Homo-oligomer: A and B are copies of this chain.
Amino acid sequence: MDESAPRQGRSVFVGLVGASQVLGLASVVLTGVWMGHYRQGFAWDGSAQEFNLHPLCMVLGLVFLHGDAILVYRVFRNEAKRNVKVLHGVIHLLALIISIIGFAAVFDFHRAAKIPDMYSLHSWCGMATLVLFCIQWVMGLLFFLFPVASSWLRASYLPVHVFCGLVLLVMAIGTSLLGITEKLLFSIMPTYSKFAPEGVLANVLGLLLVCFGVLLGYLITREEYRRPPNPEEESLSVHFKTLTEGGSPTTP
């Protein structure tokens, strides 16, 4: 019974990661179906179809890819840290690019339709999330991918970086929920309270995003899923202080 415990733990981990991917992908697909089927699809011409790119890009970039970029540290916790770190940075870069396209889409739509910017709680939370996400990405690059900071500074910053990453994921999900509510009240206010299919679909999307966030939060914070300490990596990191020599001084 004792011998099978680690294998059981591994199965639970694989199951939870699989479930998180199903939830994340389902959220992206459901956003696409909502915008594609109920909101007349996508375009880049300042029309409402350009706006439709905004939710799709934000859910794909700032929620799904952002979450997966964090998750790589748990999924590949026995791989070389340097590789995982590069993967983490690359997925985050992809998330950032897609999110910026999503931001451009909504500002372009607002400009064409003469709708004021930045008045709603959704826009305030969204802007705060994207700006902090950019700062977090640049800080991560400087501290962990280029040997700018000392080992001590990197070790001190690491828990802050990890905490802020999770906070930003939660903020991205919360902002998405605000966006869903805004969009429904702008588009289908008279039928939303009659349980119109579009409203139910968007509500289900909101719940999927919440479940994705809870599962990611569990996988990231659970002690047993953390990267095991590797003394070889630690010493290399302390002595040479560069990414090419073996990663950061402590494990995220």
List A residues at the B interface (Cβ < 8 Å).
115-116, 119-122, 124-125, 128, 159, 163, 167, 170-171, 173-174, 177-178, 180-182, 184-186, 189, 192-195, 199, 202-203, 206-207, 210, 214, 217-218, 221-223
Contacts and interface: CB of A to CB of B under 8 A. Distances in A.
B119 A206 contact: no
Nearest to A164: B214
Contacts of A217: 163, 167
Contact of A210 (B125, B192, B207): B125
A119 B195 contact: yes
A181 B217 CA distance: 25
A180 B206 CA distance: 16
Given A167-B214, A185-B185, A121 B193 contact: no
Nearest to A124: B203
Contact of A122 (B115, B181, B189, B218): B181
Contacts of A178: 177-178, 181
B177 A221 contact: no
20 contacts: A116-B193, A116-B194, A119-B192, A120-B181, A120-B193, A120-B199, A122-B181, A124-B203, A125-B177, A125-B210, A159-B223, A163-B218, A173-B174, A174-B210, A178-B178, A181-B181, A182-B185, A185-B186, A185-B189, A221-B221
